[in-house]
């Protein structure tokens, strides 16, 4: 029988490919939001015993990663009618191809590690490493500032999964602190995005090249 965690992680992997292929910002935001929800649900199925505390934390994390952050980015850009196309540095087809190579590479790399969560799903570490790589890729391969913020979110999702896969030692209080930091970070980025929009009438990071050396 397929373990629910496998299904979740497969969905997370698929979301990477979707995010690499999205040429429109609203769909990219939705994909990353969906990925956030999936990643937050995974710990509930890890079989560590469902304490009320962990359920509350998972719901809080889900609300922040899956709903609050995407909505925050969406609202920040909606008011100023922005260009909805993502300008890629690496083309969309090439990006998807890179995504596939990334997943293969991540699977091969993950065989080298001995992971606590391996008995539940062998997809755990490949997904986490793929998310880390995907986040970095979006940060580097997209010119649009919003796509970069979303890349940062994908990276954080990956780190969260690494945390789930490897260690259960981190307490919920500190996890929540980390989550609040990420939320505040994205909110500040959203404010900068709005200011960028009003200053340049564009969110192309090519415009941010006055400061050199």
Partner 1 sequence: MLEMIFLVPFIIGITAFFLPRTINRLLLVLTGMVHLFLSVAIWVNSPAAFFPAFFAVSPEGTLSLLVISLLFFLISVYTLTYIKETPIPKEKIFIGFLLLFLSTMSMATLSDHIMVLWIAIEATTLASAPLIYTHHTVSALEATWKYVLICSVGIAMALLGSILLSVSLDAGKVNAAISFSGLVAVAQSLDPRWLKAGFVFILVGYGTKMGLAPMHTWLPDAHSEAPSPVSALLSGVLLNCAYLGIFKTSKIMHAAGLSDFSGPILIIFGLISIIGAATFILRQTEYKRMLAYSSIENMGIIAVGTGIGGFAAYGAIICLIHHSLIKSSLFLTSGNILLGSGTRLIEKVNGLANRAPKNFVAFFGGFIAISGFPPFGLFLGKVIILITALKAGHFIAAGIFIFSLCVIFAGLANSVMRMSFHPADPSLPKNIPEHIGLLWPQYTLLAASIILCFWMPASLQETLVQAASTIGGGF
Q: Which CB, 10 or 207, lies closer to partner 1?
A: 207
Applying CB under 8 A, the site for partner 1 has a residue count of 38
109 binds partner 1 (CB under 8 A): no
Q: Which of 191, 155, 168, 188 shows the shortest CA–CA distance to 57? A: 168
Return contacts of 37-40, CB within 8 angstroms, 24+ apart: 37/62, 37/65, 37/66, 37/67, 38/8, 38/9, 38/11, 38/12, 39/12, 39/65, 39/131, 39/157, 39/160, 39/161, 40/65, 40/66, 40/160
From 122, 172, 185, 202, residue interacting with partner 1 (rule: CB under 8 A): 185
Q: Does 145 bind partner 1 (CB under 8 A)?
A: yes
Query: Can you tell me the distance from the alpha carbon of 150 to that of 156, in angstroms, rounded to the nearest whole number?
Result: 10
Asked if residue 116 binds partner 1 (CB under 8 A), the reply is yes
Q: Which token pair is 153? A: 């979110």
Q: Which stretch binds partner 1 (CB under 8 A): 30-38, 52-60, 86-94, 163-171?
A: 163-171
Residue closer to partner 1 by CB (options 4, 163) is 163
Q: Between 80 and 170, name the residue whose CB sits nearer to partner 1.
A: 170
Applying CB under 8 A, among 91, 100, 192, 201 the residue interacting with partner 1 is: 192
Encoded one letter per residue, x for contact with partner 1 by CB under 8 A and - for no contact, window 14-33 reads --------------------
Residue 167 touches partner 1, criterion: CB under 8 A = yes
Q: Whole-angstrom distance between the N-terminal and C-terminal Cα of the chain? A: 58
| Distance in angstroms (rounded) separating the CA atoms of residues 43 and 50 | 10
177 touches partner 1 by CB under 8 A: yes
- Residues with Cβ within 8 Å of residue 10, at least 6 apart in sequence: 123
**Could you say whether residue 51 binds partner 1 (CB under 8 A)?**
no
Kindly state whether residue 201 participates in binding partner 1, applying the rule CB under 8 A.
no
Residue 18 exposed, middle or buried by CB count within 10 Å (0-12, 13-18, 19+): middle
Provide the binding-site residues for partner 1, judged by CB under 8 A: 114, 116, 132, 139, 145, 148-149, 152, 155-156, 159, 162-163, 166-167, 169-170, 174-175, 177-178, 180-181, 184-185, 188-189, 192, 195-196, 199-200, 205, 208-211, 213
């Amino acid at each position: 029988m397929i373990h629910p965690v496998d299904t979740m992680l497969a969905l997370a992997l698929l979301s990477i490919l979707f995010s690499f292929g999205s040429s429109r910002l609203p769909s990219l935001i939705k994909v990353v939001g969906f990925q956030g929800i999936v990643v937050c649900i995974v710990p509930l199925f890890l079989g560590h015993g469902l304490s009320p505390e962990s359920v509350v934390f998972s719901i809080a994390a889900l609300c922040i990663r899956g709903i609050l952050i995407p909505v925050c980015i969406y609202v920040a850009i909606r008011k100023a009618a922005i260009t909805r196309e993502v300008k890629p540095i690496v083309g969309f087809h090439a990006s998807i191809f890179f995504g596939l190579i990334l997943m293969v590479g991540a699977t091969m790399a993950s065989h080298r590690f001995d992971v606590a969560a391996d008995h539940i799903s062998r997809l755990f570490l490949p997904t986490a490493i793929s998310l880390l790589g995907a986040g970095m890729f979006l940060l580097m391969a997209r010119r649009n500032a919003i796509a970069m913020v979303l890349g940062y979110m994908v990276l954080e999702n990956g780190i969260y999964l690494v945390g789930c896969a490897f260690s259960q030692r981190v307490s919920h209080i500190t996890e929540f602190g980390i989550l609040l930091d990420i939320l505040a970070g994205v909110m500040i980025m959203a404010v900068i995005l709005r200011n960028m929009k009003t200053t340049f009438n564009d969110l192309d990071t090519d415009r941010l090249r006055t400061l050199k050396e």
